[in-house]
Structure 1
């Protein structure tokens, strides 16, 4: 299991700290799945304002499964299994044949598994609206 120390105070992580954790979780998730040709489609690293003195961060990546015929739901299921080796996320939405939304309350992060199929993984995420400093 990958644990990222955020050095947070009593009020939890800042947007930047949670953003780095999100990046680490998604990157490690792709590594755990042995995804090929991983590309970062949203490098994050910038504040998206969402209130006075608050912001959220994003991060996204795509990769390829060695089996190009694997469908989207199967790829998402594989990612879901691998995510349990990265960090404890809980499913917040899974309607079948649609993206799977997962949240981690400790790190204030959300990960969305939205693989389109044809052996292509797609994962994106965002942090909660958190303090900038």
Structure 2
């Protein structure tokens, strides 16, 4: 089951309409509808709102999110030469775009760590990397 299907199932099980849940989460009805239909990916902030709103369903949301959005073979060992990528592609981007890409990579690392059970070991390192990215100039 994909993330949108899981969300719809849990929403209906808890007797929420699309509009009702969207209002509770502070998002638009149409965005929530697109997430449920699998037409648009969920962003991190909305994902966090959903798992906070349905705390007893947190595990199933995380599993469905990981299974849908995270490749099963993602690991730091599979990333190609970062210097090549930087000089070939990233260096030409403005600072904010580079930061966004770095944050996206860290988000994938976090999800991969959750999936393989190593998150607690990497948590401090990930947080340090986030601070370093925020301080880039």
Normalised by the length of structure 1, the TM-score is 0.22
Higher RCO by CA contacts (8 Å cutoff, separation 6 or greater): 1
Q: Which one has a bigger Cα radius of gyration?
A: 2
Normalised by the length of structure 2, the TM-score is 0.22
> Hey, which of these two has a bigger chunk of strand by percent?
1
> Hey, which of these two has a bigger chunk of helix by percent?
2
